């Protein structure tokens, strides 16, 4: 059954390869607390990765901190910091 009414609106989609990426490498600053020495540390999270886990050495006590950073549906950044050898 074909509808011969209004013409279908043409959806213009730019081909992905042609879309110039804004290439924003703006990192999201956040503060975590070292699970070893409880110092507050500033970390920078790449917002293009919605869910990431990485190890960063504490700037104060140099122990490896397992950082889990993720963005929720409201683009809110969440962070957890845990001892790497847990």
- Residue 5 structure tokens: 């009414």
Residue 60 interacting with Zn ion (CB under 5 A): yes
CA separation for the pair 71, 86 (Å, rounded): 24
State the burial class of residue 32 (Cβ atoms within 10 Å of its Cβ: 0-12, 13-18, 19+): buried
Binding of residue 82 to Zn ion (CB under 5 A): no
Decide whether 29 or 83 has the Cβ nearer to Zn ion.
Answer: 83
Interface mask toward Zn ion for 20-49; x: CB under 5 A: --------------x-xx------------
Closest to Zn ion by CB, 31 vs 37, is 37
Tokens representing residue 33 in the block: 């607390």
Please give the residue ranges that form the binding site for Zn ion (CB under 5 A). 34, 36-37, 58, 60-61
């Amino acid at each position: 059954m074909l509808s011969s009414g209004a013409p279908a609106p043409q959806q213009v989609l730019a081909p992905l390869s042609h879309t110039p990426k804004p290439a924003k490498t703006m990192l999201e600053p956040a503060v975590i607390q070292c699970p070893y020495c409880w110092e507050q540390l500033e970390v920078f999270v790449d917002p293009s990765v919605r869910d990431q886990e990485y190890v960063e050495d504490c700037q104060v006590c140099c122990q490896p901190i397992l950082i889990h950073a993720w963005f929720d549906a409201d683009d809110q950044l969440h962070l957890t910091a845990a001892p790497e050898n847990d």
